[in-house]
Amino acid sequence: MIRATRPESQVLSLFLRPMATDSNKFQAIISHCKEYGFIFPSSEIYDGLQAVYDYGQMGSELKKNIKDYWWNSMTQFHDNIVGIDAAIFMHPTTWKASGHVDNFNDPMIDNKDSKKRYRVDHLIEGFAEDVRNAGDAAKADAVLASMDALLAKDDFAGLKQLIDDNKMKCAVSGTCNWTDVRQFNLMFSTEFGSVSGEGEDNKVYLRPETAQGIFVNFLNVQKTGRMKIPFGIAQIGKAFRNEIVARQFIFRMREFEQMEMQFFIRPGTQKEWYEYWKAERLKWHLSLGLPADKYRFHDHIKLAHYADAACDIEFEFPIGFKEVEGIHSRTDFDLKNHQEFSKKKQQYFDTEINQNYIPYVIETSIGLDRMFLLIMSNAYTEEDLSTPEKPDSRVVLKFPAKLAPIKMAVFPLTKKDGLPEIARGIMDDCKKSFRCFYEEKDAIGKRYRRMDAIGTPFCITVDHQTKEDNTVTVRHRDSMLQERIPIDAIKGMVLGAIA
Residue 272, H or E segment: helix 270-286
**Which residues of this protein are in contact with ligand GAP, per CB under 6 A?**
209, 211, 241, 243, 252-253, 256, 258, 260, 323-326, 363, 365-367, 369-370
Query: Phi/psi class of residue 418: alpha, beta or left (left: φ > 0; alpha: ψ in -120 to 50)?
Result: left
Give 61 or 209: the residue with its C-beta nearer to ligand GAP: 209
CA–centroid distance for 394 within its chain: 25
Closest chain position to ligand GAP (CB): 367
Give 260 or 463: the residue with its C-beta nearer to ligand GAP: 260
First and final C-alpha spacing in the chain:
22
Phi, psi (deg, nearest 5) at residue 328: -130, 130
Give 53 or 434: the residue with its C-beta nearer to ligand GAP: 53
Give 53 or 380: the residue with its C-beta nearer to ligand GAP: 53
Min dist CB 373 to ligand GAP, Å, is 9
Residue 425's SS3 state is helix
Min dist CB 51 to ligand GAP, Å, is 7
Do 313 and 293 form a contact (C-beta atoms < 8 A)? no
What residues contact residue 257 under an 8 Å CB cut-off, 6+ apart? 63, 67, 236, 237, 238, 239, 367, 368, 369
Measured distance CA(499)–CA(433) in Å, rounded:
11
Measured distance CA(434)–CA(308) in Å, rounded:
44
What residues contact residue 352 under an 8 Å CB cut-off, 6+ apart? none
Measured distance CA(165)–CA(176) in Å, rounded:
10
Give 119 or 477: the residue with its C-beta nearer to ligand GAP: 119
Measured distance CA(474)–CA(472) in Å, rounded:
6
The DSSP call for residue 114 is T
Min dist CB 363 to ligand GAP, Å, is 6
Min dist CB 100 to ligand GAP, Å, is 10
Measured distance CA(52)–CA(210) in Å, rounded:
18
Give 213 or 412: the residue with its C-beta nearer to ligand GAP: 213
Give 232 or 326: the residue with its C-beta nearer to ligand GAP: 326
User: Considering Cα of 401, then 406, then 407, then 412, what sign does the dihedral take?
Assistant: negative
Give 137 or 301: the residue with its C-beta nearer to ligand GAP: 301
Min dist CB 281 to ligand GAP, Å, is 11
Min dist CB 418 to ligand GAP, Å, is 50
Q: What residues does 197 pair with on adjacent strands?
A: none
Residue of 23, 251, 211 lying closest to 122 (CA atoms): 251
Give 102 or 180: the residue with its C-beta nearer to ligand GAP: 102
Min dist CB 258 to ligand GAP, Å, is 5
Min dist CB 154 to ligand GAP, Å, is 18
Give 325 or 463: the residue with its C-beta nearer to ligand GAP: 325
Min dist CB 240 to ligand GAP, Å, is 9
Q: What residues does 89 pair with on adjacent strands?
A: 206
Min dist CB 127 to ligand GAP, Å, is 21
Q: How many residues does the chain have?
A: 499
Q: At what angle do helices 120-133 and 137-152 cross, to 10 degrees?
A: 170
Measured distance CA(459)–CA(477) in Å, rounded:
8
Min dist CB 277 to ligand GAP, Å, is 13
Residue of 471, 449, 469 lying closest to 459 (CA atoms): 449
Give 253 or 396: the residue with its C-beta nearer to ligand GAP: 253
